[in-house]
A and B are shown apart, each in its own frame.
Chain A
Amino acid sequence: MIATEVLKKPANSEPAAEPLSPERVAYLEGLVRKSRMAAAVFSQFSQEDVDSIVKPMVLKGLEQAQHLAKLAVEETRLGVMEDKVIKNMVATEFAYNYVKDKRTVGVIREFRDRNLTEIAEPIGVLFSLLPITNPTSTVLFKCIIAIKTRNAVIFSPHPRSWRCCHEAIKIMYEAALRHGAPEGVFSCVESPTLADNAYVMKHKDVGLIDATGGPGVVKAAYSSGKPALGVGPGNTPVYLEKSADINAAVVDIIVSKTFDNGTICASEQTVVIDDEIYDAVLKKFDELGAYVCNERETRLLEKSVIDPQTGFMQPMAVGQSAVNIARFIGLSVKPDTKLIIAPIRGVGREHPLSVEKLFPVLAVYRAQTVDEALRICVDVNHAGGLGHTAVIFSRNDEVVRKFGVAINTGRIIVNSPGAIGALGGVYNDLVPTFSFGCGTGGGNSTTDNVNIYHYLNIKRLARRTQNHMWFRVPNQIYFNMNAVENVRQFPSRCTVIVTNPALEQMGHVDIVRRHLCPKTHIHVSIIPDAEPEAQVIRQGVEALSFYKADQIVALGGGSVIDAAKIMKLKYESPEADLEELAAPFLDLRKRVVEYPSGKPAKARLIAIPTTSGTGSEVTPFAVLTDKDRGCKVTLADYSLTPDVAIVDPQFVISMPKRLTADTGIDCLTHAFEAGVSNYASPYTDSNAMQAIRLVFKYLPIAYEKPDDEEARSMMHNAACIAAMAFSNASVGVNHALAHAFGAHFRVAHGGANALMLPHVIAYNAAVPAKFMPSPYTQGYVAHKKYATVADLLGLGGQTVEGKVALLISETEKLLDRLEQPRSIAALGIPKADFEKAVPEMTEIAFNDPSWRSNPRMPLMSELSDLFWKAYEGRGAFRIVSGTETQAV
């Protein structure tokens, strides 16, 4: 019999909802209220309670599968009773098989390695719209997953399948109630109308809409303003590729396309067949009970089963058998014909049979090439099937993957029947469902097979993770007088010494040369005594390449050692883009750019510092001046760290007084900033504290008595030790300020640091206006760490605040002893010039990566304020920002 009811209409032809009577509103309110009460009761159930309800429901569903299938066919006059029995059994048994051992109450999953715990929260009240094509199976499935997830459901069946749905709901409800489910957990809208649906969809107490049906229903669900799962139509393309097992493929397609007379929306619609096997495939279809139309019959078929106005299938054909359809259109077929096959030559409105056909009519297309086949499948996919289902038959995995990439559907079924394959759990390991998420292509929020996890709010307990930290330094550090002798132990065929002219004149190069391995060929590369430029690096790399150097000795201050680091990088990885490598980053381990790695080292880098401040001999940093762009480029990566550091004080004995002070203060600033850094660890703390102690003790002596070997040696060690701390804990806001100020007014780095230091200690020790987010630290401890330093220095003080004030005072005294200018004004910089420069310096300081590990997150206004404090000079301990005002 041909069904005459209207099954599907395009979305825009849905009739407008009638206004509801007060009685009807009261009725619907009662349903929602009952469901809300049930959900409230259900929310108190345990996993065991829930599981003890689900199993008997499933058994009841299996028991009633045939009864419900008969009812569905009698009422809807769609599909095949025997197939509907199978559907009902899949909806219960396969669904249960998937959900039975899954946790859906309380803690449902633990990810111990990620410190994450997932906890289920029921949605509460769901509103579920049911289709005409799969009515009872959809009810059985949704009832099972609703109970498993502790949700109450209000069902609204399609008017033409209301009775069978109601019966299925009643059976499930009674089974659930009998085993402890809350009263009112399922309900069914009597004689539902579009107005009823619209009212309930928008109800404040409905948490989720699960709409399975035509495009109008799905659109209404998504337009309601409520979270919705909407599962609409499909248009399944099938690629039958030449490597496929033809017999198996044809059987699978017939199984699927004739299953319940093709009412499952995942069933095959257009089969694209490779030319090489096309005739064999059609022959096989014919042998197995399909009728292949000629061109005239195809025209007749398309006029009859596709509405020429809308381009959609005629509702009268939906769910009918092939024989009935043939009879209806006057086609003469054998009485046992299972399927009607219509060859088509393209996709779109000119080829009406290329659309979705929920009846056993299958379009076929002959493709000359793989690319043509894929293009036609894409066209079918885009002709109403986006997001839904696609099928491929092939034994060529490359083609299968190509198809998977080309087609936009949530399910791509391989070598199995589309309809039953998409349901999941039968032919594959997809999650069993009766609701296919169709992704954004289908106007849905998911491409998943809808199941229990879509009926839950999944909460995630995210525990604080213990980030891995590190302490990385060169694997060999030699120190104390004449430590340079240790270079002899490193075999080298050719060594390039990178240094500057002054050091060569002073005879330092000769000292190194004397101690190098005797057979080493030595080349000296003299570079200017300034931060390296690209041209200097280029020339250095040329020399390294020319001599095929296997060892580089960097003899000099920070600039020389930095230059040697970059030369080595470019020598070993010429493709390295320095500008890109200098890209900003927040966390070294997560930064975007990657330094070259995994290549065997061409040359060993031995760093011999001739100043006691930068610590470049052990740091992973290098600064390059980019003359073209007029800026400095800072490179930071542990691969830049020298292989060997020689900390020999003989190279610093002759350091001038001013340089001794400047570099010594730089060293002190490194230690202070590493000490309070958010990246500080017990490993860096021990180095930072020891360096501070050494500086306070020995820097004044080294400054005042340059020939004091012990003081020189200890300051040289202090610089290296502080550098080990800040190599791993980084620096802070002091450096950001000093970089900006020093560059603008051409003030030496150490001197610039000195001007900021007391103010920055006071700033960091106060309660921050803005805390710095940091997974590495627990609580704000900067002030306590300064107090610890004060204790280490034996400064006295009773309270943390008092100790910090004493530390600032002691720092001021040290700077005085080193004859440092104590204010920017004292440098002779006019206030007007400074005032003009502050906004730009503030911007630059804020963009400086140095402060990223500072314990206190600097606001722009605070940076500006710090510049002005440094301009005015003394009295940092009395102008602590925030709420504290300290006095010694």
Chain B
Amino acid sequence: MGTAAVLAIEEASLISLLEKAKKSLPHASGEFVLDFSAVHRIDAAGLRAMEEFARFAHKKEIQVVLRGVHVDLYKALKLIGLTDQFSFVG
């Protein structure tokens, strides 16, 4: 298992950061950590991008870990069935 790559996510640039993360994913070894501690709310486009990112990671067989997810956001992810696609820490 390799070292975890960590990418801090900002609310305002969630979609572009997820795109950037997608590019890094194929080179990641071990788990890939997205730090969500600065994200308080995600809109529909952001949730769709999260879904897309989860699908992509699944295809690449990379374990994606979301760090510091606030509970309101966690509930939103739960409502659309995305919590099963990620691991959560912190």
Which residues of A are in contact with B by a Cβ distance under 8 Å?
36-41, 43-44, 124, 182-184
Chain B stretch 36-77: residues in CB contact (< 8 A) with chain A: 40-45, 47-48, 72-73, 75-77
Q: Is B1 an interface residue (CB 8 A)?
A: no
Q: Could you say which residues of chain A place their CB within 8 Å of the CB of B75?
A: 43-44
**When the two chains form their complex, are residues A182 and B43 in contact, meaning their CB atoms are under 8 A apart?**
yes
Q: Could you say which residues of chain B place their CB within 8 Å of the CB of A182?
A: 43-44
Q: Is B89 an interface residue (CB 8 A)?
A: no
What are 11 A-B residue pairs whose CB atoms fall within 8 Å in the complex?
A36-B80, A37-B44, A37-B80, A40-B80, A41-B43, A41-B44, A43-B79, A44-B73, A124-B79, A182-B43, A183-B44
Q: Could you say which residues of chain B place their CB within 8 Å of the CB of A44?
A: 40-42, 72-73, 75-76
Q: Which residue of A lies closest to B81 (CB)?
A: A36
Beyond the given A37-B47, A44-B75, could you list 12 further A-B residue pairs with CB under 8 A, ordered by the A residue number?
A: A36-B79, A36-B80, A37-B44, A37-B80, A39-B79, A40-B77, A41-B43, A41-B44, A43-B75, A44-B41, A44-B76, A183-B45
Q: Which residue of B lies closest to A37 (CB)?
A: B44
Bound-state Cα–Cα, A542 to B38, Å: 85
Bound-state Cα–Cα, A62 to B76, Å: 33
Bound-state Cα–Cα, A41 to B72, Å: 10
> Which 8 residue pairs of A and B lie closest in terms of their CB atoms, listed nearest first?
A40-B79, A40-B76, A183-B44, A44-B41, A40-B80, A44-B72, A41-B44, A37-B44
Q: Mark B15-37, 1 if CB is under 8 A from A, else 0.
A: 00000000000000000000000
**When the two chains form their complex, are residues A43 and B72 in contact, meaning their CB atoms are under 8 A apart?**
yes
Bound-state Cα–Cα, A43 to B80, Å: 11
Q: Which residue of B lies closest to A42 (CB)?
A: B76
With contact pairs A43-B72, A44-B72, A44-B73 given, residues A184 and B44 touching in the complex (Cβ less than 8 Å): yes
Bound-state Cα–Cα, A37 to B79, Å: 8
| Minimum Cβ distance to chain B for residue A883 (Å) | 37
Q: Which residue of B lies closest to A125 (CB)?
A: B79
Bound-state Cα–Cα, A41 to B42, Å: 7
Q: Which residue of B lies closest to A121 (CB)?
A: B75
Q: Could you say which residues of chain B place their CB within 8 Å of the CB of A40?
A: 47, 76-77, 79-80
Q: Could you say which residues of chain A place their CB within 8 Å of the CB of B77?
A: 40
Q: Could you say which residues of chain B place their CB within 8 Å of the CB of A184?
A: 44
Bound-state Cα–Cα, A184 to B72, Å: 20
Q: Could you say which residues of chain B place their CB within 8 Å of the CB of A36?
A: 79-80
Q: Could you say which residues of chain A place their CB within 8 Å of the CB of B44?
A: 37-38, 41, 182-184
| Minimum Cβ distance to chain B for residue A472 (Å) | 48
Q: Which residue of A lies closest to B72 (CB)?
A: A44
Bound-state Cα–Cα, A41 to B40, Å: 11
| Minimum Cβ distance to chain B for residue A208 (Å) | 15
Interface centre among A43, A124, A183, A184 (most CB of B within 10 A): A43
Q: Which residue of B lies closest to A43 (CB)?
A: B76
Interface magnitude class on chain B: 10 to 19
Bound-state Cα–Cα, A208 to B73, Å: 23
Q: Could you say which residues of chain A place their CB within 8 Å of the CB of B48?
A: 37
| Minimum Cβ distance to chain A for residue B82 (Å) | 9
Bound-state Cα–Cα, A44 to B42, Å: 8
Q: Could you say which residues of chain B place their CB within 8 Å of the CB of A38?
A: 44
| Minimum Cβ distance to chain A for residue B67 (Å) | 19
Bound-state Cα–Cα, A37 to B48, Å: 8
Q: Which residue of A lies closest to B44 (CB)?
A: A183
Q: Could you say which residues of chain A place their CB within 8 Å of the CB of B76?
A: 40-41, 43-44
Q: Could you say which residues of chain B place their CB within 8 Å of the CB of A124?
A: 79
Q: Could you say which residues of chain A place their CB within 8 Å of the CB of B41?
A: 41, 44
Q: Could you say which residues of chain A place their CB within 8 Å of the CB of B45?
A: 183
Bound-state Cα–Cα, A41 to B80, Å: 10
Bound-state Cα–Cα, A183 to B43, Å: 8
Q: Could you say which residues of chain A place their CB within 8 Å of the CB of B79?
A: 36, 39-40, 43, 124
Q: Which residue of A lies closest to B41 (CB)?
A: A44
Bound-state Cα–Cα, A40 to B47, Å: 9
Q: Which residue of B lies closest to A33 (CB)?
A: B80
Interface centre among A38, A40, A41 (most CB of B within 10 A): A40
| Minimum Cβ distance to chain A for residue B85 (Å) | 14
Q: Could you say which residues of chain B place their CB within 8 Å of the CB of A39?
A: 79
Bound-state Cα–Cα, A44 to B47, Å: 12
Bound-state Cα–Cα, A37 to B42, Å: 11
Q: Could you say which residues of chain B place their CB within 8 Å of the CB of A41?
A: 41-44, 47, 76
| Minimum Cβ distance to chain A for residue B38 (Å) | 15
Bound-state Cα–Cα, A183 to B42, Å: 12
Q: Which residue of A lies closest to B78 (CB)?
A: A40
Bound-state Cα–Cα, A39 to B43, Å: 10
Bound-state Cα–Cα, A214 to B41, Å: 41
Interface centre among B44, B48, B76, B77 (most CB of A within 10 A): B44
Bound-state Cα–Cα, A44 to B71, Å: 10
Bound-state Cα–Cα, A40 to B78, Å: 8
Bound-state Cα–Cα, A840 to B4, Å: 69
Bound-state Cα–Cα, A699 to B24, Å: 85
Bound-state Cα–Cα, A39 to B44, Å: 9
Bound-state Cα–Cα, A38 to B47, Å: 10
| Minimum Cβ distance to chain B for residue A183 (Å) | 4
| Minimum Cβ distance to chain B for residue A47 (Å) | 13
Q: Which residue of A lies closest to B45 (CB)?
A: A183
Bound-state Cα–Cα, A502 to B54, Å: 92
| Minimum Cβ distance to chain B for residue A779 (Å) | 29
Interface centre among B40, B45, B75, B79 (most CB of A within 10 A): B79
Bound-state Cα–Cα, A124 to B80, Å: 11
| Minimum Cβ distance to chain B for residue A385 (Å) | 40
Bound-state Cα–Cα, A588 to B47, Å: 56
Q: Which residue of A lies closest to B77 (CB)?
A: A40
Q: Could you say which residues of chain A place their CB within 8 Å of the CB of B42?
A: 41, 44
| Minimum Cβ distance to chain B for residue A185 (Å) | 9
Bound-state Cα–Cα, A710 to B41, Å: 78
Bound-state Cα–Cα, A182 to B40, Å: 16
| Minimum Cβ distance to chain A for residue B48 (Å) | 7
Bound-state Cα–Cα, A35 to B80, Å: 10
Bound-state Cα–Cα, A36 to B80, Å: 7
| Minimum Cβ distance to chain B for residue A93 (Å) | 30
| Minimum Cβ distance to chain B for residue A574 (Å) | 65
Bound-state Cα–Cα, A39 to B75, Å: 11
Q: Could you say which residues of chain A place their CB within 8 Å of the CB of B47?
A: 37, 40-41
Bound-state Cα–Cα, A798 to B37, Å: 50
Bound-state Cα–Cα, A135 to B86, Å: 44
| Minimum Cβ distance to chain A for residue B42 (Å) | 7
Bound-state Cα–Cα, A40 to B79, Å: 6
| Minimum Cβ distance to chain B for residue A247 (Å) | 57
Bound-state Cα–Cα, A44 to B44, Å: 11
Bound-state Cα–Cα, A182 to B48, Å: 13
Bound-state Cα–Cα, A36 to B51, Å: 13
| Minimum Cβ distance to chain A for residue B77 (Å) | 7
Bound-state Cα–Cα, A37 to B76, Å: 8
Bound-state Cα–Cα, A38 to B43, Å: 8
